[in-house]
Structure 1
């Protein structure tokens, strides 16, 4: 077995994101991996909605205390707040749309910290921590790949547009190379909705209302707000059925 380096230092380069996205696309559509999909979670979108969103996120989004919090108020202005709440109200319709999305195999937490490289082979990526392995709509893994370092304050949200332009086509190429015939436009729409569901509507640090530590200083919260704006714009730029 080849020796494996520690996780790459963050923030990682765009070339690593592109390579990771391509390989995650191949993983998602691989016929060899397909029998292993259901070893993890299934119906991951609906379970997330019935669990974290319904019982933790959505009730807090309608609390004035969240938006008045000294960490949140300067970052999430009234316009962004209104957009997030409108997206939250639209979730039932958007979830129905996602119900019809093609499924693939997903690592479940494909953030850069879970990507390692064998010693002497910089082109190979090794995924670790399969605790969230699941069957999920295609493009599921792109959310954590793209926002993982933003959530922790290691990458500015201003880079999201470039990462998106690189990662989505690379992921699509991975699908195609494994024989999965899905259009790039359809994939882009699913990707936008998953980014909204698993990041956009919960970008505000709701944990501060439960007495938990904030995700970081004010600068980190500002970047999370900017990332939420990007995700909302991404959804608006795609077209549903």
Structure 2
């Protein structure tokens, strides 16, 4: 039989499948595995493996399709060229077990109608600081998102955030993913690079579209502390943290349902934070044009507010929108240009990539007047 991800044994898998399927006589006959084509952006993801299990019981043949997600300490997934002291610091700032804790914790019991999580079939620990989550594979539709998809997802995310208020707080460095991002990705990395003349001398940063951003990014950098402080105007709630459309699967067998994946940044956040990746995520990834975002923001913010209100927490839409735009200004403009790629050869591809990212950054920066108008209400 094919070696199993995470060091699990055939006996482990059989026992887990018996529990999950409710078939105590299930016998595993064959297992095949294949790596999932996926760009790993987080050092805590060791591997994703698609697993097909052929089994039998008294009723006949049973085929189960799973995805095994192997998690690890960030230290194991960081590039070797990073100096040891920096590696140790980064490792200390990334709580690698959060996703496993979410899947095995109370979140599943808080899900509102229309939001699901993949079924958790098995959890295997080790070797070392590693955990493997054996999850139900979701057969999802692959079609562009509509404004109605965004509305329904935002409503569900608003309901879920309020429903999770009673959970034990997930403790992470700096208190939340967003605060950690501001302290580390912005404060220790992006802002010093953007303040360096050498950064802007790179060929990829010298095209007019990119150069035109410099003064605005410098002004935004000076406002980061005030922007972060302004988020206290809304309640703090548990968030998914990375609710992009790519992490909200739409099962072919269950129209109208979303299945939430990738809970590794599920920490406390300002109310409305999940609207940020929901609305901006595809544009950041380059799969939709940046100019589609403002209209989707107009759909998602009221829907999220309605979801919160349905669970008993009222936050004025204007205040919620102010928090969402503020979080987007912290999250994207100063980190979306390809700063981490400037040490390599420039090449036409990097120059074009920087231009594409510049269009996204410009769109987010252009939301600042909207923030000013909301602040006056």
Using the size of structure 1 for normalisation, the TM-score is: 0.86
1:138 to 258, 271, 274: 271
Distance in 2 separating the partners of 1:27 and 1:50: 27
User: Which one has a bigger Cα radius of gyration?
Assistant: 2
Which deviates the most, 48-57 or 184-193?
48-57
Which residue in the other structure is 1:151 paired with?
284
Hey, what's the Cα distance between the residues in 2 that align with 1:178 and 1:150?
A: 30
Q: Which residue of 1 aligns with 2:57?
A: none
Partners of 1:18 and 1:7 in 2: how far apart? Answer: 19
Q: Report deviation, 1:84.
A: 1.2
Q: Give the match for residue 39 of structure 1.
A: 170
Task: Give the aligned partner of residue 239 of structure 2.
Answer: 106
Contact 1:116 1:126 in 2 (8 A): yes
Would you say the 8 A contact 1:8–1:113 is kept in 2? Answer: no
**Cα 1:108/1:7, change in 2 over 3 Å:** farther
In the TM superposition, what is the alpha-carbon distance from 1:233 to its structure 2 partner?
A: 2.3
Greater than 4 Å deviation, 4+ residue runs = 1-4, 216-220
**Secondary structure of 1:189 counterpart:** helix
Flag structure 1 segments of 5+ consecutive residues without an equivalent.
Answer: none
Deviations, residues 136-176 of structure 1 (Å, cap 9, x unaligned)? 00111122112222222211112112211211121111111
Q: Give the stretch that moved more between structures: 202-211 or 159-168.
A: 202-211
Structure 2, unmatched stretches of 5+, are: 1-20, 22-118, 120-135
Shift, 1:132, TM fit: 0.9
Equivalent residue, structure 1, for 2:138 = 5
State how 1:39-118 maps to structure 2 within 5 Å.
Answer: 39=170, 41=172, 42-74=175-207, 76-118=209-251
In structure 2, the residue matched to 1:200 is 333
CA RMSD of the aligned region, Å? 2.7
Report the alpha carbon displacement of residue 89 of structure 1 after superposing the two structures with TM. Answer: 0.9
Q: From the two aligned structures, give the one with the greater strand fraction.
A: 2
Structure possessing the higher relative contact order (Cα contacts under 8 Å, 6 or more residues apart): 1
